[in-house]
Structures are given as C-alpha cells and as structure tokens.
Amino acid sequence: MKRPIRWTVALTAALALFAGLVLLPFWLVLTGSVKAPAEIIARQPTMVPHSFTLDHYAKLLAASDYPVYMMNSLIVASVSTLITLLLAIPAGYAFFRMSFPGRETLYRAILLAYAFPSIVILIPLFGIFAKIGLIDSRIALVLVNVAFALPFAVWLLRSFFAGIPAEIEEAARLDGGSPFIVLRRIMIPLVAPGIAAVAVFAFVTAWTEYVFASVMILSDAKRTVPVGFSGIIGQYQIDWGLLLAGASLSILPVVVLFAFVGRWFVAGLTEGAVK
Amino acid sequence: MKLPRTLLPYAFIGPAILFLAALLVWPLVQAVVLSLQDVRSVGTTGKWVGLDNYREVLTDGTFWSSTWLSLVWVVTNAVLQTVLALLAALALNQNFPGVRIARTWIVLTWIIPTVVVVMIWRWLFSTSGGIVNPLLIQAGIIDRPVGFFARPNTAFATLVFINSWRWFPFITLMMLAGLTRIPGDLYEAARIDGAGPWKRFSRITWPLLAPTLGVLLVIGTLLSFNVFDIIWLMTSGGPAGGTRTLPVLIYETAFKSYRMSEAAAVAVLATLFLMGFAVVATRWLARPPEAR
C-alpha cells in the first residue's frame, strides 16, 4: 500500500520536528562539552564544534568527587532495581494469575499509591528515618526509590502475566510443581521482557531521583549524581564547559543500559500496558 | 512448611503491600499527626494545636495562589503533553525505516536526571551560548535576547515547556499502545469506502483512542501535579512566587521557613485534592464506554 506524497512529506516533517526537539539538546550538550570555552558562549552557537578539548572532563574529574557520586548512584539504582523486582514479580504473579478475596481492592490500593504526592511523605519520612538512624544512609534512598517504583512496576507486569496461556501453568501444576516452582521455572522465563521493562523503570526512577537524596544524605561521600552534580552546578555557576561535561557523563550510564534493554522497556509500555 | 492454598496469594503480594504500607501509608498518617501539632523543625516535638494549622493555611493567600498555580500547571502541561504525544504517537505508528529505533530512543528525555534536564535547558535558554534566543531571533519572533526566567509568566511558561519535554515521550509510548490496538482492517475498510485521512482519523482513530487518552490524562495529571524537582532547581518557586506550585510551597514551608506542621497541613490538603481527583476520575473511567 502506497502513501500519497503529501503524507510522506507531512510524516517526514513531523519526524524531523521530534528528532530536533529530542536530539538537538543532547547533540548541543555532547558537542559543547568538548568545545573551547570561547566557542561555548559564542553569540551564534555552532552545530559542529570548531575546537576540540578534553579539558572540561579533566577539570571535572580533578575538581570534584564525580566518580564517587557515580558509584553511589550505580549502587543505589542497582539495589533499588533488585528489590523492586523481588517485590513486584510475586505480587504481579498473584494479582494477574490467581483469584482471591480482596484482589480488586488491594490492586486498586496499589494503583492509588502511584498517585501519591511524594513531597507529602518527605517531611514525616525524614522524622521516621531520623528515629531509626537511616539519615545519611544509602539504604534510606533505596527504600524510598523502591516505594516510588513499585506501584507502577506491578502495573507494568500486568500485560505480560495476562498474556501467558492458562494451559502452560495448568500443565506445570499437574506435573506436581508447587506455585513457587511454577513461578520460578515457568513464569519468570515467560515474562522476562516484562521484567526487563520493570528493571529499566526502577533503575531510571532511582537514577533520576533528586529531592529525597538531597534531604536524606548529608555527607559528600554518599551523594548520588543528581545531588552531587547540583552541588557542582552551584559551585561552578557559569563554567558551562565543566557543567556540560558533567551532564554528558551522567547521561552515559543510562544510555548504555537503554541500548541493551530499552526495546523491552518500550515493548512493556506499548504492548498493552494501558488497559 | 506448607502454606494452605488459600493463603498463598497473600504470601505473594504481602511483601509488596507491607512495604508500601510502611513507606507510604505510615508516613501519610504521620503527616496528618504532624499537621495537628506545632512542630517547627525536624526532630523537635510540639504540642497539640488541633486544626490551627489548617485555619492558618486556609486563610493564607499564598496557599490559594499556589493552589491556583498548581491547577494552571496541571492543565497547561496536560494540553501541551497531549498534543505533542498524540502527534509523535501518530507519526511513530506509521511504517518507515528506523521506526523501531525511533520508538526506543524517543524516551531519551525521560531517562536522564532532572538536575541534568534543568542544567541543559538553563544553558539552552541562557543569553551566553544558548541556542533558543538566536533561533527565535532568526525566526523573527523576538528582536533581542530574552531573559526567560526573569519574569513570572515567561518563567512559568518555560517550565511548562521543559517539564513537557521531559514527560511527553513517556505519554507517547502509552498512546502508541492504544494506537497499535486499533485493528488495521478498520482503516482498510474505510479506505475502500472512500474515507479521506481526516475522516479516518475523526471516525476511527479518535473514538477508539479516547479511552486510552482518558487514562493517560488521569495519569498525566497526577504526575504533573507532583513535579517538584524541575521547578525547584530551575526557579525555586520564583520570580516573585510566579512558579510556586503546591509541592514547592510545601518544601519551602518545611525546609526554608522551618514550619513543619504548617507544611504538613498543606501536604494533607494537597493529598486530599489529588485523591479526590483520582477517585472521581477512576470512577468516570470505569463507566462502560457507551455511557460516556
């Protein structure tokens, strides 16, 4: 089936618009991070760098604890992802493959938790964590990140669990498999794409979180990238080269992660997540 | 140990439910308790003051202007994000070389830290090397560089743009889910009956996408209402309180003015607004489609 020419033109124009809107800022940041300072603040911005320098990166790494922030962020995001998965997978299995009294109510309660204004619990949670000695601890960040990622994670698993034919589960059960074995041997491999989608969501939620990390963490050695970087921004206000280098470095890990599992995440969102 | 069959589902969902209860519900209860006391900074104890904080908040003009700003924030973000996401989803629902790559990487704006989003756009909107001013001058929209964050209205509009930039790809993907579920034969049949592109959109795409749009509008509203970090990092609620939405007001009251209990009262009121909206909205969405 062929598309009329004017629709091809319209489609191309729309795609160009969105490519520009999404990619142009990143292109300018990445190229800006290797431009000489004078070129960065030029009145007419250059699309292709005329100069090349790695000074900004060298200065960033020498002047700040950026690698430490990066390490903290990776630890916090990875552990948060792991715990989210450990909680969300069994919950998803029960919600979407079993029937039990209270299922609807509990499921709706979890959805409602997604609507939760996070800033509301910042104040009381700070008090609670202070009481049990979790202030200035990365565990506090993990707990908060899991709480924010979990409701959506359960929701995201819905279409993946629902898509598995009942016969497969039935057959496994008749063979004498306990529900735990059915979950581990049959279900988890079948919903692997959904698990990847949840993992990306949980990782990104933790990787980008700023507010709680800025309030709960006090010592510089435990700061995550968002908080550490905002400190650098405050210190080097208009040293755009250094800031652009920092921005580029913080984009890198998630882009690498996304290159591997991004398509599963997209599949998780598009293949029937909205119901 | 062997669990009775009937208890098994609860063993599976139990950990998740308990976790959320401990980290979301319990703090919410604490927020209500705090809002009935007189606590100024974290860790100190206060005395019971009943509904005094609520009286204080509800008679304060700042609370109402923040509520109004939050409302405007939610509506403008919803409109801009829906328009952008719908256009992008319609484009990505076509077949063209590289469509899978485009579908994956459109969410690039959403996977980077908000601190970085803010830093990037502050630079792009700045008068030193930023691209926005030269582009607008070239397009003839303005004749000299503009300080976007200098005035309340432009600061607010710029923040709506930046927040929408971050979130619209996420909405796009979920819209795409709705689009891919519309059977292709419908379009084929309409084409054979001689329906033009506009008619196909208005008679097939739009009505069949409407339920998805409804769900997304609810989710989008809740997500935008809660946005705090982008606003705080960019303008801290300024200039002149022009971007002080309710989450910003809560943070400011608690951590800048050290009036924890008052902040908790605002937070409880905000939760009531939001939960009320969520309950009404889900009930509206749960109605059978033909009744809508």
Instruction: Give me the amino acid identity at A71.
Output: M
CA dist A85 → A92, A145, B115 (Å): 10, 12, 26
- Asked whether the beta carbons of residue A40 and residue B229 sit closer than 8 angstroms, the reply is no
CA distance B30 to chain A (A): 6
Residues B282, A112: Cα–Cα separation, whole Å: 10
Contact between residue A265 and residue A258 where contact means Cβ atoms under 8 Å apart: yes
Q: How long, in residues, is chain B?
A: 292
**Residues of B numbered 155-184 whose beta carbons fall under 8 angstroms of chain A's beta carbons: which are they?**
165, 169-170, 173-174, 176-178, 180-181
pLDDT: which is higher, A206 or B94 = A206
How high is the pLDDT of residue B290? 46
How high is the pLDDT of residue A91? 92
pLDDT: which is higher, A184 or B21 = B21
What does residue B48 show for φ and ψ, rounded to 5 degrees?
-70, 135
CA distance B150 to chain A (A): 17
CA dist B200 → A3, A164, B188, B287 (Å): 14, 34, 10, 26
- Asked whether the beta carbons of residue B177 and residue A90 sit closer than 8 angstroms, the reply is no
What is the distance of C-alpha A217 from the center of its chain?
A: 20
Contact between residue B219 and residue B173 where contact means Cβ atoms under 8 Å apart: no
Residues B65, B84: Cα–Cα separation, whole Å: 28
- Residue written as token pair 């940041």: A29
With 0-12 / 13-18 / 19 or more C-beta atoms within 10 angstroms meaning exposed / middle / buried, residue B148 is buried
Two structure tokens written together for B55: 């009286």
DSSP state of A4: P
What is the per-residue pLDDT across B46-58, written as a single tens digit (0 to 9) for each?
788 888 889 988 9
Residue among B230, B245, B220 at smallest CA distance from B113: B230
How high is the pLDDT of residue A138? 92
Two structure tokens written together for B179: 């689009």
Residues A205, A171: Cα–Cα separation, whole Å: 38
Instruction: Give me the amino acid identity at A116.
Output: F
Residues B202, A141: Cα–Cα separation, whole Å: 47
State mean pLDDT over B26-36: 90
CA dist B216 → A31, B154, B284 (Å): 35, 27, 13
How high is the pLDDT of residue B289? 47
What does residue B63 show for φ and ψ, rounded to 5 degrees?
-60, -45
How high is the pLDDT of residue B211? 81
ipTM above threshold 0.90: no
What does residue B36 show for φ and ψ, rounded to 5 degrees?
-100, 0
What is the per-residue pLDDT across B53-74, written as a single tens digit (0 to 9) for each?
899 889 988 999 999 999 999 9
Taking each helix axis from N to C end, the angle separating A66-97 and A55-63, rounded to the nearest 10 degrees, works out to 90
Give the containing element (helix H, strand E) for B33.
helix B26-35
Residues of B in contact with A130 (CB under 8 A): 42-43
Which of A91, A116, A274 lies at the smallest CB-CB distance from B177?
A274
Contact between residue B68 and residue B151 where contact means Cβ atoms under 8 Å apart: no
Looking at the predicted structure, is the pLDDT value of residue B220 above 70?
A: yes
How high is the pLDDT of residue B67? 94
Two structure tokens written together for A77: 């995001």
What is the per-residue pLDDT across B122-153, written as a single tens digit (0 to 9) for each?
888 988 778 888 888 888 888 888 888 888 99
In DSSP terms, B110 is beta-bridged to: none
Contact between residue B225 and residue B78 where contact means Cβ atoms under 8 Å apart: no
Residues B117, B227: Cα–Cα separation, whole Å: 13
- Asked whether the beta carbons of residue B102 and residue A15 sit closer than 8 angstroms, the reply is yes
Q: Report angle CA B112, B84, A2 to the nearest 5 degrees.
A: 115
- Asked whether the beta carbons of residue B115 and residue A23 sit closer than 8 angstroms, the reply is no
Contact between residue A162 and residue A96 where contact means Cβ atoms under 8 Å apart: yes
Residues B60, B52: Cα–Cα separation, whole Å: 12
Residues A38, A42: Cα–Cα separation, whole Å: 6
Two structure tokens written together for A261: 């599992």
- Asked whether the beta carbons of residue A123 and residue B28 sit closer than 8 angstroms, the reply is no
- Asked whether the beta carbons of residue B128 and residue A250 sit closer than 8 angstroms, the reply is no
Two structure tokens written together for A199: 């993992």
Contact between residue B252 and residue B237 where contact means Cβ atoms under 8 Å apart: yes
Contacts of A63 (CB under 8 A, 6+ apart): A236, A242
The answer, yes or no, to whether the previous bond of B239 is cis (omega within 30 of 0) is: yes
Residues A240, A233: Cα–Cα separation, whole Å: 9
What is the per-residue pLDDT across B136-195, written as a single tens digit (0 to 9) for each?
888 888 888 888 888 899 999 999 999 999 999 988 988 888 888 888 888 888 888 888
With 0-12 / 13-18 / 19 or more C-beta atoms within 10 angstroms meaning exposed / middle / buried, residue A89 is buried
For an interface test with B, the pick among A31, A87, A123 (most B C-beta atoms closer than 10 Å) comes out as A123
Query: Which CATH architecture is the domain B54-291 placed in?
Result: Orthogonal Bundle (1.10)
Contact between residue B132 and residue A226 where contact means Cβ atoms under 8 Å apart: no
- Residue written as token pair 């988890």: A188
What is the dihedral sign for C-alpha B198, B204, B207, B211? negative
For an interface test with B, the pick among A1, A41, A120 (most B C-beta atoms closer than 10 Å) comes out as A120
**pLDDT tens digits, chain A, 275 residues: what are they?**
456 788 788 888 889 899 889 998 999 888 888 888 888 877 777 888 888 888 889 888 888 888 899 999 999 999 999 999 999 999 998 888 888 888 888 888 887 777 677 888 888 888 889 889 998 899 999 999 999 999 989 988 887 888 788 888 778 777 777 777 778 878 888 888 889 889 989 999 999 999 999 999 998 899 999 999 888 888 887 788 898 999 999 888 888 888 888 888 887 777 644 43
How high is the pLDDT of residue B43? 66
Domain residue ranges of chain B, discontinuous segments joined by +? 54-291
Q: Any idea of the CA torsion for A59, A64, A67, A73, to the nearest 10 degrees?
A: -130
Contact between residue A140 and residue A72 where contact means Cβ atoms under 8 Å apart: no
With 0-12 / 13-18 / 19 or more C-beta atoms within 10 angstroms meaning exposed / middle / buried, residue A173 is middle
State mean pLDDT over B191-200: 82
How high is the pLDDT of residue B215? 81
Residues of B in contact with A86 (CB under 8 A): 15
Contact between residue B93 and residue B265 where contact means Cβ atoms under 8 Å apart: no
What does residue B91 show for φ and ψ, rounded to 5 degrees?
-65, -45
Residues of B in contact with A231 (CB under 8 A): none
CA distance A211 to chain B (A): 6
Residues of A in contact with B268 (CB under 8 A): 120
